[in-house]
Each structure stands twice: as structure tokens, then as C-alpha cells.
Amino acid sequence: MAGLGTWSLTVAALIILLLPRSLEECGRISLPTPIVHLGDPITASCTISPNCSHLDPESQILWKLGTELQPGKRQRLADGRQEFTITVAHLNSPRVLLSCCLRWGTSLQILDQAEVQAGYPPAAPHNLSCLMNLTTNSLICQWEPGPNNHLSTNFTLKSFKSRGNCQTQEDSIPDCVPNDGQNHCSIPRRHLQLYQNMGIWVQAENALGTSKSPQLCLVPMDVVKLEPPTLWALDPSPEVAPPQPGCLLLRWEPWRPSLYIEQKCELRHQPQPGEASWALVGPLLSQTLQYELCGLLPSTAYALQLRCTRWPLPGHWSDWSPSLTLTTAQQAPIVRLDTWWRQRQLDPRTADVQLFWKPTPLDKYSGQIQGYLVRAPDQAETVPPLCNTTELSCTFHLPLEAQEVVLVAYNTAGTSHPTPVVFLESRGPPLARLHTVARDPYSLWVGWEPPSPRPQGYVIEWGLGPPSPSGSNKSWKMEHNGSMSGTLLQENIRPFQLYEITVTPLYQDTVGPSQHIYAYSQEMAPSHAPELHLKHIGKTWAQLEWAPQAPELGKSPLTHYTVFWTNAQDQSFSTVLNASSHGLVLHGLEPASLYHVHLMATSRVGAANSTSLTLMTLALEESELHVLLGLFAFLLLFTCLCGAARFCCRPSRKNPLWPSVPDPAHSSLGSWVPTIMVEETFQLPSLRDPGMPPITKITVLEEEEKKPVPWESNDSSGSCGLPTLVQAYVLQGDPRAPSTQPQPPSITSDQGARSDGGSYQKCSFGYSCLRSFIPPPSPST
């Protein structure tokens, strides 16, 4: 059984492997044409062979168009075959795959496939043009193929020779087939007659049709395109004068193979950088080979290009030559020279003059300045000048009576207009309220009040202040607006530097006295504070001192000092002193204590701390300690005595210490004790008998303020020395029982009397009559 199962699986596997091939032989797709117009309908049929044993008559056949499934129309043929047809009304895809499929269970089995293409007939090529290239010695033609037709299209360049106007064909020329994807083709020189007409057109062909471009009739040499010429600058020579300002001298050389061809050329130029458009100059005949281009801006760089064409016969322009950059000749400087001077007398007949100037161009095309000349007004050109320099200053000697020199700027094209320099005397009014403000670390604003009458201008000089040498590396500028009241200095300004600024007013025939001021554009904070020194110290004070530092250049002046000190318990204290202080006495210190002290110096832009000074105050001496301890003990004793006296003399403190006990000697018992008193009775042990005594009644009476009686002084010795005599009275016997004993005629000092016949026993406060059985008397009973 196991062998039979294995054989069945093998047969099933072979059937599955052979089944697709057998199904493919069962059906065949037929198409009327594989290529159709895009959007046209197409009908396809799938014929099923009757010899296909794997299909039953009711098998389901489906068409698959791309990814879409569609049913087909079944038809039985006479020979027993089945035909399934499908019609697509509009084929809108340029390329689609059509499949005839059999539904095999839950899957589809492809019986046959066919590809259908759709497109358009080729459009006629257009814009056909040809150029005769003498470098490759061939006629190169190019065209535009037209819109995409979605089908493979072949282009062919066709031509023929003709002696007329291309109406009749004499000799055919082999077709020129371009490479795939190319829209140009070259006809070699061997197939050409350079001076004979030829007809040329392009033919396009695909599966749906053929088209051709309009015919082009031409002579190959009439469409010749020359190579660009070579352009150079013409250097000056003894035979060639240098160019004038705004002019350029040019020469060129035609392309060597075209030397025998008559040509004309065009030149174009553009100022650099290339922001402006090109300017065209021409035509230029090739026989000249040189040209002077004028009308340009002086001292300006230009880019130049040249191209040529066959002339007077027809031809195409060559490409532009590579750019040549040249600069036009310059003109004489057109500048205004602002001047300033310093004059110093050397001896009675000679003065040392230091002249400064600044050029200001008056025209943007002014020639570049190559140097400056300083001459006397009537000095001949053959005499050496006072100065010939490229710098902006000059020092020379003049006779003391000389009051004027002449300054000019020059270059190869000439000199500027002379600028007279008159050494004026200072007789004008001065400026008022010269002041400065630092705008930022690299600029300073200097302001003033214009004097009256108003000056014609001002000269502002600035440079490093002391200790720099006077007059070294000074900057200056001239303001020509006499009504202005200030200017911003931005040249050669650096932070943390002291600058000396000088302003001089300029008048018609004189100058005013110079006013100067010192200023910083930015100041630094102090680098360190003065060092603290301990001058004297005591038990509760310390005297400190420091040496104020000299002002430092670039450092902001100090505004104040702050002294900080800290004790051993980290308690901090401080005090502020003005900048002129150089010492301080610290008061209120503790003896034999450690303190840390430091000094902070503060300016407008920052502060700096000194090193910390540690000091210890002096300790107290032994005699001083004794005096202090004695004073402390006296104060403590005095405080205790005062407290005790106050405590004892207050009435509220008397009752709790010494309770008031009624004294019969100061009371009238007969007046306020009732004859029979109804009171609660309680058991009290007998004072004499260890057995239970009869019920005893205790009454505590308060002392009344009455006049002293005769016996009070007799018994005062038994009061135990207390401030107030307090006595306790104990009633013995039953108060309700009638008395059988006769009442004694008088009352002794040791017994009291009662109106109801009872008797009392008198005890002093210090004797315990009831021992511990009697509760403490209450003042309210």
C-alpha cells in the first residue's frame, strides 16, 4: 500500500507539470492586425481545438485585457472547434497585452497571448535646415520630428542633384539614415556639388503610414557656416599711436580655411561686469583686419567678441569668438583735492610745512591717479617740484614769506585742475562747547556749536592722545557745510584708546583757532583694586589704608570704593567711600576676633577687587577683665535684689505664701457666730485617744480688722515669728449637747469663748494641733 501511494503522487505531479503545456496547445488568438489607430475598435478571437482532451464542452473561457477580465462570445464551428471572440470598442492604450484564459478551479490558466499596439501615422517633419561645414567637409541637415505618434518611426534624409530650381531630378544621392533617436544627418562631401542646386527632404514612416517634410532647394556653399575668427588687442608701436581715452585698438584673423572667401564681420562689446546688454558694431570688412573702437567709457573693462559670414554671397554667421577683455585708455584725473597743513618755523627765513590732502572724484570715469605734484605758483615745469609723491602727504621747506603752493594729481593722460593751497593766519572766531559721544566701540561723534559768523567748513583731526607722540598717525577730514554742528568719526577708531580730537573752523580768508578734546570710544573696567594695608589696630577698631592708583589709559575713572569685612561667624558688613578716599577706620569690632577685609574699586564700566586682608583685633587685658566681671556681678546682684523686693511687696504674692487665719483676739465671736450652727459632720480621729473620737466640728475664721485688744501683745511671742499672727481654733465636744459646767468668769489667753457654751483650744501656727488630719484652712470658710 505504501508503494501504491508513492506511485499515485508521482503520476499526479507529472500531470500537473505537463498540464500547462497541453493547455497552451488548446487555444490560439487571432487578430486582424496587431497595430491599430489609437481609439479605434479591435476584434480578437480565441479558437479552442477539439482535440484538447482537458477541456469539456462547458469549460469557461475568459479574456484578459491588461488587468481587466471580460467574457467572450462562444461560437461552435463546423469542424468541432469552439471560437471565443471579444470586441474592444475603443483601444485607448498605446500598448496592451491581450490574453485568452481558462478558468481552472480558482485560478486562471493562460491559453494564448497577443500584444496590440495603437498609435498614429507619422506627422510630417518640419523646420528642415542645412549647413555646410567646411571643417568636417559635409552638409549637415537637421529637422524637428513632430509630435509623438506612439509607434516606432523611421526617418530618412533624401536628396538629389538638380540644375534648375529643383523641379527636375538629375542624379540621386544615397539616403542618409540617422541613428536611433537622432534628428540630424550628414551628407559627405563626395556626394555633393558645392555650387549646384540640390533638393532635400525628410521622410518619416511607421506601421500606419508615411509622411515627408517640405522639400528644401539649396546650393551647399550658400549655406556654408564659417568658424569664428580670432580677436586680439593691437599693441601701441612707433607706427601705431596709443589709443585716445575711451578707445580700444583691435585686430583679428579669419579662420584659416576661409581665407579665400570674402567675408564681413560684426563686433559686439559689453562693459564688465556684464550687467549691461551687448552693443553691436559692424559690418567690419575682413580685409582691414584691425579696428579702433571708440565711444567707450574711459578706464573701463570691456568684453569683446567677433563673428563673420560669407559676403556678399549668401552664408550663415559663424559662432561668436571667445571673449577678449580689454580696458579702455584713461583720462586725466577729474578730482577735488581737500587740503590741510601744519606749519612750523625753522629759522627767521624758513618754515617747515607739512601738507595733507584727500582726493574726491568728481566723475565716476575719472582717470586713475598715479601721483601728486606740489609746486610754487610761478615755478616752471623744468624746475623740480617741491614734492612728487604717491602718498597723501608731503613735507617741504618754504621761505617764511611764501603764502601759497599749487597741488595737482596726474596720470598718463594728463593732470587735474590745479588746487591752490593758501597758508592762512588764524584770525577767525573759535568754536564753542566742543563735546564727544561714543556711538559704539569703533566710532565717535564729535559735536560743537557753530560760531558767528558761520564758517565755510571745518577740519577735524583725530589721533591717539598722550603718551603717543604729537601729530603721529593722525587722521583728518574736511566738512564743507559750515552750518553743521557735528560729524561722525569712523576711520581708525579702536576701543580702549584715548583719542585727541581737534576741530578748526574755516572762513573766507582766514581760519579760527583749533579746539581739542580727549575721548574714548570705549573704556575698560579697572584691572585691579589698590592693595589694602593695616595701619593701626585696637581691641574694637582697625585703621586701614591704601594707595590710590594713577589713572590708566583706556580705563574708566573710578567712581567709588567699597570696603567689605566678614567676621568668624560669616557675618558680612560693607561701607561705600568716594573715589578720593585712601583710608578707613572700622569701628564696632569684637576683641580677639578674626576678620577678612577686601576693597572693591568701581568705575562706570565695571569693578575690580583687591586681595583679601586678614586681621585679628587685640584681646582684653587681665585688669580689664576683672573690672568687667565685677561690673557684671554687681549688675546681676542689683537685678536680683530689685526683683526680690518687687516680688515680696506685691499684695498679690502675700496670700499664697502666708494664708490669713482668723484671730479670735481681733474678732467679736458673739456678734457673728450663730448660737447653733448647722454644719456637716465628719469622722476625725481623736488627738488624744487612739480610738475613734466623737464627731468634731471645725470652723476656720478669718481675722477681722479691729482694734488691738490687751491680750494680743501678751501672746505675740508664740506666733512663730511670722509677719501676721494666725491662730487656729478647734471646737471640742458636741455643740448640740447642753453644757453642764459653769462658764468661767473670764477667758484666759489660752482658751476662747463661745456663746453657745462650747469651748475652743488655741494653738499657735507653728504647733500642729490636728497633726496631719486637719486640712489646710480655707479663707472662705
Mean pLDDT, rounded, for 276-283:
87
C-alpha to C-alpha distance for 520 and 543, rounded to whole angstroms: 37
Q: Which helix (H) or strand (E) holds 690?
A: none
Q: Which residues touch 269 (CB under 8 Å, ≥6 apart)? A: 278, 279, 281, 293, 296, 302, 303, 304, 305
CB 700 within 8 A of CB 728: yes
Domain containing 572 equals 532-617
Domain final position from 374, 399, 422: 422
Both 134 and 189 in a single domain?
yes
CB 599 within 8 A of CB 607: no
One-letter amino acid identity for 369?
A: I
Both 508 and 569 in a single domain?
no
Give pLDDT, residue 227: 87
The answer, yes or no, to whether residue 739 has pLDDT greater than 80, is no
Query: In the chain, how many domains are there?
Result: 6
pLDDT band at 473 (very low <50, low <70, confident <90, very high): confident
Which residues are bridge partners to 489 per DSSP?
444
What does the pLDDT look like over 314-340, one tens digit per residue?
888 999 999 999 988 888 899 999 999
Both 25 and 56 in a single domain?
yes
Both 25 and 112 in a single domain?
yes
774 domain-assigned: no
708 domain-assigned: no
245 domain-assigned: yes
C-alpha to C-alpha distance for 128 and 308, rounded to whole angstroms: 23
Both 179 and 244 in a single domain?
no
Both 307 and 264 in a single domain?
yes
Both 203 and 245 in a single domain?
no
Give pLDDT, residue 503: 94
Domain final position from 327, 360, 382: 327
C-alpha to C-alpha distance for 714 and 40, rounded to whole angstroms: 163
Cell numbers 532647394: residue: 217
Both 213 and 235 in a single domain?
no
Give pLDDT, residue 249: 87
Q: Which helix (H) or strand (E) holds 463?
A: strand 457-464
Both 217 and 262 in a single domain?
no
737 domain-assigned: no
The answer, yes or no, to whether residue 600 has pLDDT greater than 90, is yes
308 domain-assigned: yes
372 domain-assigned: yes
Mean pLDDT (the chain) is: 78
Both 502 and 456 in a single domain?
yes
Domain final position from 119, 141, 170: 119
C-alpha to C-alpha distance for 426 and 424, rounded to whole angstroms: 7
C-alpha cell at 602: 568701581
Q: Which residues touch 239 (CB under 8 Å, ≥6 apart)? A: none
C-alpha to C-alpha distance for 505 and 482, rounded to whole angstroms: 8
CB 703 within 8 A of CB 663: yes
CB 100 within 8 A of CB 63: yes
Task: Report the SS3 class of residue 173.
Answer: strand
Q: Which residues touch 526 (CB under 8 Å, ≥6 apart)? A: 549, 552, 555, 556, 558, 601, 602, 603, 606, 607, 608
Other Cβ atoms less than 10 A from the Cβ of 566: the count is: 16
| CATH code of the domain covering residue 320 | 2.60.40.10
The answer, yes or no, to whether residue 758 has pLDDT greater than 90, is no
Is pTM, for the whole model, over 0.75? Answer: no
- For residue 577, report the phi and psi dihedrals to the nearest 5 degrees: -125, 155
645 domain-assigned: no
C-alpha to C-alpha distance for 364 and 334, rounded to whole angstroms: 9
| 594 alpha carbon, distance to own chain's centre | 50
Both 114 and 130 in a single domain?
no
Both 352 and 386 in a single domain?
yes
C-alpha to C-alpha distance for 194 and 625, rounded to whole angstroms: 138
Q: Which helix (H) or strand (E) holds 49?
A: none
499 domain-assigned: yes
Mean pLDDT, rounded, for 451-479:
84
What does the pLDDT look like over 174-226, one tens digit per residue?
889 988 888 899 999 888 888 888 889 999 998 888 999 998 888 888 888 88
C-alpha cell at 477: 577730514
pLDDT band at 23 (very low <50, low <70, confident <90, very high): low
